[in-house]
Amino acid sequence: MAEALKKRHNIPITVTDSAVNQIKFLLEKRNKESFGIKIGIKSGGCSGFTYIVEYADSKGQYDEVIEIGNVRLLIDPKAIMYLIGTEMDYVEGDFKSGFVFNNPNEKNKCGCGKSFGV
């Protein structure tokens, strides 16, 4: 269903139910009113770029806003071209839990999975 929603509304990324549930949990747990969660990228890591997921207290002038499952996701305008077609997921494991980005634009990824190159 996420893929059909993406095609129908021209959404640059899809978000799994698991990621939406984790975002809801984080926003509810935060002791401060939030506009949503912001996704971006920054230079760094051994492969060139790292993903950023942070609270957004307000919408930036050029942020793209996506509403999925009653949560707002803001995408940094500088990151959109790197994130088109990406699926954001949340994975829980025995030793590691966190948001995972399945990005078809990645040309390489570091061994630890913290950074990527395009």
Q: What is the CATH number of the domain that holds 8?
A: 2.60.300.12
For 26-80, the pLDDT digits (tens) are 999 998 999 999 999 887 655 577 888 999 999 999 999 999 888 999 999 998 8
Q: Residue 92: exposed, middle, or buried by beta-carbon count in 10 A (0-12, 13-18, 19+)? A: exposed
Mean pLDDT of the chain: 81
Residue 112 lies in a domain: no
Residue 35 lies in a domain: yes
pLDDT at position 77 is: 92
Going by pLDDT thresholds of 50, 70 and 90, the confidence category of residue 6 is: very low
- Domain range for 75: 2-106
**Number of domains within the chain:** 1
8 A C-beta contact, residue 52 and residue 39:
yes
Per the confidence metrics, is the pTM higher than 0.85? no
Quick count: other Cβ atoms within 10 Å of Cβ 96? Answer: 9
Residue 21 lies in a domain: yes
Residue 118 lies in a domain: no
Identify which has the larger pLDDT, 103 or 44.
103
pLDDT at position 3 is: 45
Residue 97 lies in a domain: yes
Identify which has the larger pLDDT, 56 or 81.
56
